[in-house]
Amino acid sequence: MDQAQWTSVDSYFTDLLLEPDPSLDTVLAHSGQAQLPAINVAPNQGKLLYLLALMKAARRILEIGTLGGYSTIWLARALPEQGKLVSLELDGSYAALAAQNIALVGESGKVEIRVGPALDSLRKMVEHGEEPFDLIFIDADKEHNPQYLELSLALSRAGTVIIGDNVVRKGEVVNASSNDPSVRGVRRFCELMATSPRLTATAVQTVGSKGWDGFSLAMVTG
């Protein structure tokens, strides 16, 4: 099995199961023109996030890591008109482009982007007694994933769904002696999911247009 086959299977499912969406294509084109790294979720993964949010009937979504707003848009589309999505982004220029992209698809009314280190934004949200979220998507710098999970738990209630992107990274997750801060962060994140008495979790590895990677999925139980 090789990357070309993984990509062609992704194309098959995407062409078959996703509505053509010129505005979403434009969003990715804008992100490319602005030289953002092409590390957004793939279209079929975006629709997976959308479906999970829809199944959860989420009214409040938290995203950590906005980039150009691609995953943000998929998640926002699952929200009812009165729903709210808060997305946290370190880079002000990425956040500005994301805001433009989100406006282009008509989802600005539901989305608030907060610029700055996500750890700071999350701590402020906890301090200010922010209402708990129904679904949380963790997809920023993997080094801080353990703290993102702890703070996400503080912004959760029973039933909150917590999704983590990029938990496999070409299989590196099993490398216990890795010195890569991202790998160490993801391993610690997985260990925390395993040991937190408030969480029940799984993880699945995926192949596709973005290579070999995976998602974690957890639910807050108490």
Question: Are the C-beta atoms of 92 and 67 separated by less than 8 Å?
Answer: no
Binding ligand SAH (rule: CB under 6 A), the pick from 61, 75, 89, 102 is 89
Quick check: 139 binds ligand DHB (CB under 6 A)?
A: yes
Report the candidate in 161, 108, 111, 168 with the shortest Cα–Cα distance to residue 138. Answer: 161
Quick check: 141 binds ligand SAH (CB under 6 A)?
A: yes
Interface of this chain with ligand DHB, residues 12 to 51, rule: CB under 6 A: 39
Three-state DSSP class for residue 53: helix
**Residue 28 to residues 107, 164, 221, Cα–Cα distance (Å):** 16, 22, 36
Quick check: 165 binds ligand DHB (CB under 6 A)?
A: yes
CA end-to-end distance (rounded Å), the chain: 42
Quick check: 90 binds ligand DHB (CB under 6 A)?
A: no
Q: Which of ligand SAH, ligand DHB, Mg ion, none has residue 88 at its interface (CB below 5 to 8 Å by kind)?
A: ligand SAH
CB of 166 to ligand DHB, least distance (A): 5
Quick check: 165 binds Mg ion (CB under 5 A)?
A: yes
Q: Among all residues, whose Cβ is closest to Mg ion? A: 165
Quick check: 89 binds ligand DHB (CB under 6 A)?
A: no
Q: Which of ligand SAH, ligand DHB, Mg ion, none has residue 162 at its interface (CB below 5 to 8 Å by kind)?
A: none
**Residue 115 to residues 72, 88, 102, Cα–Cα distance (Å):** 14, 6, 15
Q: What is the CA radius of gyration of the chain?
A: 17
Quick check: 166 binds ligand DHB (CB under 6 A)?
A: yes
CB atoms under 10 Å from CB of 179, counted, come to 7
Quick check: 10 binds ligand DHB (CB under 6 A)?
A: no
Residues 6+ apart with CB under 8 A from 155: 62, 122, 125, 126, 130, 132, 133, 136
Q: How many residues bind ligand SAH (CB under 6 A)?
A: 18
Question: Are the C-beta atoms of 87 and 63 separated by less than 8 Å?
Answer: yes
Binding site for Mg ion (CB under 5 A): 139, 165-166
Binding site for ligand DHB (CB under 6 A): 39, 139, 165-166
Binding site for ligand SAH (CB under 6 A): 39-41, 65-67, 70-71, 88-91, 94, 117-118, 139-141
